[in-house]
Structure formats: structure tokens, C-alpha cells
Amino acid sequence: MSKIKEVLPASEFLKKNLGISEIPLEAYLNYGYALLAIAGADGEVSEAEFNWLVNHQRLAGAPEEVIEKYKTFAYKNTDLETLLTKISVDVSTWSKSRSLLYHAIQMSRADGDYSLEEQKAVKKAAKLLKVEDDIALALNRLIETEEAVTALRKALLQTEVLS
């Protein structure tokens, strides 16, 4: 007997930003697991990186039961390719590989220390995810630009403490 997949409505964030309207519970779980595997490729997922994951997944609408499972996931001994086969949404044009790489870079940078090991892990993940080198580079530059825009906004709105 096959197990029925539990499908949840997507958050307003996902609807607005990606056009995704529903996501299988399994996809939420395995997307987070894949991010942990990539960001943890340097041997550790820092507190800031883990907090980034939790905040992101809550914004995406992941249920708390899924987020709780991230805390005990053995990310050091996982097969990323297997996890990828368990991630799907209701939008056929959505690129889980590019999205996952984008979020893995963001998560890896969350602690302010995008180490050489993490950069190598992201490059390795890009290859595994079959994301072309130029796209991987563009995703890195996009995140750097987004960080710069956030810093600019904080400065202009006087919410950033000047040193």
C-alpha cells in the first residue's frame, strides 16, 4: 500500500516570490536537510546558520514538526542526490537546484564567515546539483548584491550603527 503524500498550502512568501501554491510535507523536510548537508559540509552548522534555516523555513511555511526534525538530522552522513529526489512543488518550471544553491550560499554566509571550506562545499554542491559554473557565480554575486543593498538601506534609514 502506498503512503499518501501530505501536501500543505505554501506560505504567502512562496506564493508571491516563486508562484508556488502547495508543497508536500516531504519536500519541506528534505529541502531543509539538503541545506544542512551543504552548509554543514565544512564540518559544522553554526548557530547563525541554523537560525537562518529555521527563519527561512518558517517564512516558507514549514510546519514546526519539520523544523524540530532539523535539530537532530545527521547532515554529515547524508546523500544529497537522494534528498533532491524527494523535493517537489506544484510549479514545473521551478529550479530546485538553483534555489537550493542560492539558499545554501545564504545560509553558509549567515554567520559572517563564508569560509574557504564552505565555498568549496558550495562549488561541490553546484556540480552535484548540475548548476552551471556561470549560474553558480551569478548566484554568489546576487547574494553579495542583496547584502550590499540591505546595508545601504540600513544606512539610509539610519538603522545601522556607524563605527
What values do phi and psi take at 86, rounded to 5? -105, 15
What confidence tier does 122 reach under pLDDT thresholds 50, 70, 90?
confident
- Residue 43 CB coordination number (10 Å): 10
Gap between the Cα atoms of 38 and 122, Å rounded: 7
Element (H, E) at 68: helix 64-70
- Per-residue pLDDT band for 160 (boundaries 50, 70, 90) equals low
The three grid cell numbers given for residue 35, joined into one nine-digit string: 541545506
Indicate which CATH number applies to the domain containing 41: 1.10.3680.10
Domain-located, residue 32: yes
- Parent domain of 76: 7-131
Strands (E), the chain: 7-9, 22-24
Residue 69 lies in a domain: yes
Number of domains in the chain: 1
pTM comes to: 0.86
Report residue 7's pLDDT band, with 50, 70 and 90 as the boundaries.
confident
* Residue at 139 is within a domain: no
36 occurs within a structural domain = yes
Mean pLDDT of all residues in 140-144: 96
What CA–CA distance (Å, rounded) separates 53 from 12? Answer: 18
User: Does 89 map to a domain?
Assistant: yes
- Tens-place pLDDT, residues 31-73: 999 999 888 887 889 999 999 999 999 999 999 999 999 999 9
